Structures are given as C-alpha cells and as structure tokens.
Amino acid sequence: MKKTLTSLAVAASLMAAPAVAADKLLLKTPIAFSTELPGLGSPIPRVAEQLDLMSGGTLKMKVYEPGKLVPPFEILDAVSTGKINSGYTTAGYWAGKIPAAPLFSAVPFGPEAGEYMAWLYYGNGMSLYQEMYDHAGYNVHVIPCAVIAPETSGWFATEINSPEDLSGLKMRFFGLGGKVMQKLGVATSLLPGGEIFPALEKGAIDATEFSMPAIDARLGFHKLVKFNYFPGWHQQATVFELMINKDVWNETSAQHKAIIENACKASMADSFAEGEAIQHAALIDNVENNGVTIKQWSPEMLDTFRATWDEVAAEEAANDAFFAKVLSDMNEFRDGYALWKTNAFLPRQ
C-alpha cells in the first residue's frame, strides 16, 4: 500500500507540474539604445528577466549595450546572417535598406500608441511587418517589443517662427520625418543617440530631435540648445522590435515562442506606461533648472509639416510598391478608427 500511494503521489505531482520546455535557448541580444534611457532602452532588461522567470530558466536573454557586440545600424544584417541570434532596435533604422521600414516604427501625423497597437495586433500590421522582412530577403522573425508615446519635435538654438527659419539648418532627424525636413531645406543626418551631443557641441549639427523629454534629458541636449518644440508631429508613437534569426525561431519550441511573444506584448504596455509616467517631471526640470523654453509649433508650421508629409508619402509610395501597400492598409485602418476616435474621445482643448 505504501508503495502504491507513493507511486500515485509521484504521478500526481508530475501531472500537476507545469510543462517545461526540454530545449534551452540563450538569446544574445545587442541593442540600439542604452538601457539607461527610460522607456527606450529600459524595457529590454525587463523582458530578459521575464523570459528567465516564465521559462523556469530554460530561456535566457543576454543584453549587450549599444556597440558592445554589434553596432546599432548593423543589427538587422547580423541577425539575418546568423552572426547573432537576436537584436533589439527599431525598424526606422532600416529606411536605407527597406523603404517601407519606417512605417513600422513612426509615421508623421500617424497613429498614436493605442491605434498603432490596434493596427498591428488586430489589423493587418503584424502580417505586413513580417512580410516586409521576408520580401526584402532578410532571414528574421520580428516581434514588436516596446512602444513609446509622442516625442519632442526638436531642440533648436534659436526660435523657429516660419518655414524659412528651417532652411539651411543641419539637424539630426529620424525616419520619414527627416524626409519632410529635407524638403524644407534642412540637411538631416541619422546619428545614434550617443553621437548626438558631441555633434551638437562641435557644430556638426545645429539642432536635433531624439526622443521624449526624460530620455533627451539623459543625453544633455538642454546644455547646448534651449528651445524645445512640441508637438512631435513626426513621431506620435514609436515602435521597437525584437528580431530573432528565423532559423533559430523555427527551431524554438512552441512554449518558448509563446513566452517570448507574450513577454514582448506585456512590454508594449509596460514601456508605454513608463514613458507616460515620467515626462512631466523632465519638462518641469527643463524649465525651472535648465533654462529651457518650451515652444509649441504654430498652426502655420504644423500645416506646412503636414502638407510636406503628404508630398513625401505620395513620392515614397510611387517609388516603392510595398511602401504603397503598407501605407494604403494603414490609412484604410485609420479611416475606420477615426470614426471611433471622433465619437469616443474627448476633444482636445
């Protein structure tokens, strides 16, 4: 009887125990943004912690700070070729390789975070996102893994009161918004975060945009340029991606895939909440302690940016069929969403 009860107890414990993946996986993950930047680089260490906890230690992620394993702008190629098995970055960095890539990162006058996630998860966004990399010949599996709310529109040494004031400026600018600024006479460059302050200090650029106030504060732009403009028309939301080599992904167990996908989906909510929680303190500190003047773009300037973006969007769509396909799908989704947004949300004051 004792032996029988013991056997039954063992069998019951095995049946009750959660399934554990037999394989083990270590994701070596270089990142494009320092983990010291809140909402931008800070989400990925939390994802790494959750992967370990949820998998019982069979799935781990080792995070490498920018440039420690692979330079930020080389992450896509390194993951695709298998030099590394994963990377954390943003699709907007691949505009020179894949014209449609910025549409999965940040769109001028585009969707805010909630609408972006709705399109990705419950529209055609995710299937188009993966199709983009497949179509371009990259051997990666992509998963959205963080999102932040609006960024500042830029840091300038002098006030910008008209479109003419932009002409001739040298400015660090990201993504499709950079193409808008180019049409307005700005010489743009896309610099990694760590290179922006030295470029400003040496006069290589006159102005910059990078991210949200709490993130920009870590990079010290307020020490060199004192006019901080809003709203961030070029990036009302920015999506960040975890890329995994597709061969590695295909060989990964169903359990590990589910853990990775759900950890990243949780990170989308967590990163958005973190970003929203800390911006007001940075704005107050900038004004009260750093001598920063917060400026709002005039209606004239916003109309200029929007009209110029419409030109850029039409040109990009005419030049690249897949860009046109994604933009058309996004706009169709947004047209439907606008009915909900107009009726459901309070008007902005």
Annotated binding site for Na(+): 210
Structure token pair of residue 106: 């940040």
CA distances from 272 to 35, 75, 124 (A): 16, 24, 22
Which pairs count as long-range contacts for 327-334, CB under 8 Å and 24+ apart, including other chains? Answer: 327/100, 327/103, 329/123, 329/124, 329/125, 329/128, 330/103, 330/107, 330/110, 330/111, 330/119, 330/125, 333/118, 333/119, 333/123, 333/124, 333/125, 334/111, 334/115, 334/119
Annotated binding site for substrate: 151, 172, 209, 235
Residues 139, 127: Cα–Cα separation, whole Å: 15
DSSP notation for 231-243: --TT-S-EEEEEE
Q: Which residues of 333-346 are buried (b: 16+ CB within 10 A; e: fewer)?
A: bbeebeeeeeeeee
> Cα–Cα–Cα angle for 283, 40, 218, nearest 5°?
45
Annotated binding site: 151, 172, 209-210, 235
CB atoms within 10 A of CB 141: 22
Residues 322, 91: Cα–Cα separation, whole Å: 15
Residues 316, 319: Cα–Cα separation, whole Å: 5
Q: Kindly state the helix (H) or strand (E) to which residue 59 belongs, with its residue range.
A: strand 59-64
Residues 6+ apart with CB under 8 A from 193: 33, 34, 37, 66, 210, 211, 219
Task: Judge contact between 233 and 305, C-beta under 8 A.
Answer: yes
